[in-house]
Amino acid sequence: MFTISYAVYLFILVAVIALLEIQIEGKDGWAKNLPCWRPSSKSFVAKIYAMFMNGKELTGYHAAIFPLPLLILHFPFVAGTSWTLVKELETFSMYFLMSVVWDFLWFVWNPAYGLKKFKSEFIPWHKKWWGPVPKDYPTGLIISFIFALIAGSLLPWSVVYLTFGGLTLGSCYLSLMLIKK
């Protein structure tokens, strides 16, 4: 299941979602100026969400967009591929890996940011950073790795991980050439 062509397909999927989000959110990340539902920060669901999302606000936009790739990844099961626990673990592994790349590509391709503004002082919704990256990134990669480890799929996971890495580096290079910020 984890082939280079599969990895390229998933990369294209997250790139399209990132580009779509850029068109929707513009320069104002985390749905800052979108007219979407926002529960009170004191509500139970908002507190739980903030706990798992490193302090980020729950919005209707994110409640709708986050499940989209997970639903797409589950489509083969609906279309007839037999479900197994191992395949489910692999699916969640890919979701967390994709989430990291998807979020990073939002910055890489967003003309209001680019790589030069990929810093904590320009990105207030990523409240916790580990060195040069938001805490969400290493956390997401570790969770993805753990799901692949439990599934016994580390070698195939590595193929996707390395393919994503190469394509992300290529995206960064293109961004530096095309986005003059």
CA contacts within 13 A on the Cβ side of 126: 22
CB 83: neighbour CB atoms within 10 A?
12
Say what the pLDDT of residue 50 is.
Answer: 87
Mean pLDDT to the nearest integer, 104-130? 94
**Rounded to two decimals, what is the model's pTM?**
0.93
Domain parsing of the chain, residue ranges: 4-31+83-178
Strand locations in 104-147 (E):
129-130, 133-134
Instruction: Take residue 30 and report the two structure tokens written for it.
Output: 């985390």
Note whether 174 and 123 are within 8 A (CB). no
pLDDT in tens, 78-90: 999 999 999 999 9
Q: Which helix (H) or strand (E) holds 148?
A: helix 136-151
Average pLDDT over the chain reads 94
